Amino acid sequence: MEFTWPMMLLAVGLVPLLWWGYRFLARRQRRTAEQFAEARLFEQLVVRPPSWQRSLPVACYLIAVLLLAVAMARPVAALPMPVNRAAVMVAIDTSKSMIATDISPTRLEAAKAAARVFAGLVPRSTKIGLVTFSEYGTVLLPPTTDRAALLEALDRVQPQSATSVGGGILESVRVLPGREALLRERLERLLRPGSVPSPPNPLDPRPNPDDLVPASIIIFSDGVNTFGPNPYEAAQLARDGKVRIFTIGMGTPGGTVMQIDGQMVLVPFDSAGLERIAQITDGRYFASASAEELHRVYRQLGRVIGWERTRIEVSFLLLGVAGLLVLTGGALSMLWFRRVP
């Protein structure tokens, strides 16, 4: 334990002085009372309570003074505090097809708006990160409880070109707590086909899968994969890393027609692919990004409460205990002596 104002601990010296003062006044009152009766009659005229009964209320007051003196020094202690260890990655498709207007105003803007709504639904203790994917996945924000940083990252999301759903899944898995250490070789093999995975560092022990924090990925996409790693293999990797994937379809059945580079182009929507990705990881597919569907996603997210030591000032605890002791001492004095010192 540390103290912000350690000089205030000098006030602890008041406690023995107060005890000495109490004993001095008690002896003085006894001598005064003995002057009004002979010694042999005094014990018969005055009924004295047991010494413990006389001392207990005073002891409560003195301990309260001691705690108040320590509280004035503003103690800081590392206490075990409950924390929400769950982590969620929001993965948003930024391919050119996401500028289609079959969902108003566009698929991409609707996905960004839904991500903001979701961030407001989950507890602030839940860590949320952000990944975008077009030709490859890009981590814009690792999992964090900073909601302002998340909203700023969402504002920076812009449409790109191709679609790599698998790349978005792999990058999301990579930044989730403990997954990169557990799946390093397979992650590198899928992200960079043909490369030789770097050998694991023997000083970095592989985490136990049972000790991994609950983690999920929420994908906002039209589901049409055109580039990069196989999304189903990426989903299997996520499943092996104990990551559930929830997919939310951003499009309308049958797709839509839009003008791209002066030509009318059919922009498809693949709900079946998104549904299969979710099924592989024991997740769920949702056909829209409505508030009701986002509530359903939140209700299915895993969460676990862990304990971490956090440095906090504990003056409030000492003040609370001191107050209880003062009330206890006053109540005992009223009960036994019909007065409050």
Q: Are 168 and 299 part of one and the same domain?
A: yes
From the list 84, 79, 82, 85, the residue with the least C-alpha distance to 309 is 79
* Confidence at residue 185, expressed as pLDDT on a 0 to 100 scale: 85
The encoded tokens of residue 116 equal 């903001």
Residues 289 and 317 in one domain: no
Tell me which of 42 and 171 has the higher pLDDT. Answer: 171
User: Which pLDDT value is given to residue 107?
Assistant: 92
CA dihedral 129, 214, 137, 181 (to 10 degrees): 110
CATH value at residue 113: 3.40.50.410
CB count in 10 Å sphere of residue 80: 10
Q: 137 forms bridges with which residues in the sheet?
A: 133
DSSP 73: T
Nearest Cα to Cα of residue 243 among 294, 154, 304, 170: 170
Model confidence pLDDT, tens digit, residues 140-149: 999 999 999 9
- Residue 217 confidence (pLDDT) above 90: yes
331 φ/ψ sector (left φ>0, alpha ψ -120 to 50, else beta): alpha
Residue 236 has pLDDT above 80, yes or no: yes
Q: Which amino acid is at 217?
A: I
- pLDDT bin (cut points 50, 70, 90) of residue 139 is very high
Q: How far apart are CA 229 and CA 150, in angstroms?
A: 26
How many whole angstroms separate alpha carbon 93 and alpha carbon 111?
8
Together in a domain, 260 and 159:
yes
Shared domain for 222 and 120, answered yes or no, is yes
Q: How far is CA 246 from CA 4, 28, 177, 259, 286, in A?
A: 47, 79, 18, 30, 8
The better pLDDT of the pair 246, 61 is held by 246
**Residue 225: partners with Cβ closer than 8 Å, 6 or more residues away:** 163, 164, 165, 166, 231, 270, 273
Measured CA distances, 219 to 132, 164, 301 (Å): 10, 12, 14
| Between 47 and 320, the higher pLDDT residue | 320
- What average pLDDT does the chain have? 83
212 and 325 together in one domain: no
Do 226 and 94 share a structural domain? yes
135 and 60 fall within a common domain: no
Say whether both 75 and 93 belong to one domain: no
- Render pLDDT for 148-187 as a digit per residue (tens, 0 to 9): 999 999 999 999 888 899 999 999 999 998 898 888 888 8
**How many domains is the chain built from?**
2
Supply 201's token pair.
């560092």
Amino acid at 185: E
Full residue range of the structural domain in which residue 113 is found: 86-303
- Whether 276 and 245 have beta carbons less than 8 Å apart is answered as no
Q: How far is CA 26 from the centre of its chain?
A: 55
Residue 5's CB is within 10 A of a number of other CB atoms, namely 10
- 52 and 115 inside one domain: no
> How many Cβ atoms are within 10 Å of 47's Cβ, its own excluded?
6
Q: Are residues 127 and 258 in the same domain?
A: yes
For residue 93, name the pLDDT band (cuts at 50, 70, 90).
very high
DSSP assignment string, 188-247: HHHHSTT--PPPPPTTSPPPPGGGSPPEEEEEEE-----SSS-HHHHHHHHHHTTEEEEE
pLDDT at residue number 202? 58
Tell whether the model's pLDDT for residue 275 goes beyond 90: yes
- Same-domain check for residues 265 and 126: yes
Question: Do 266 and 206 fall into the same domain?
Answer: yes
Residue 306 backbone phi and psi in degrees, to 5 = -115, 180
Confidence of residue 38 (pLDDT cuts 50, 70, 90): low
List, for residues 113-122, the tens digit of each pLDDT value. Answer: 999 999 988 8
Q: What is the pLDDT of residue 234?
A: 94
Angle at 20 between CA 19 and CA 23, to 5 degrees: 90
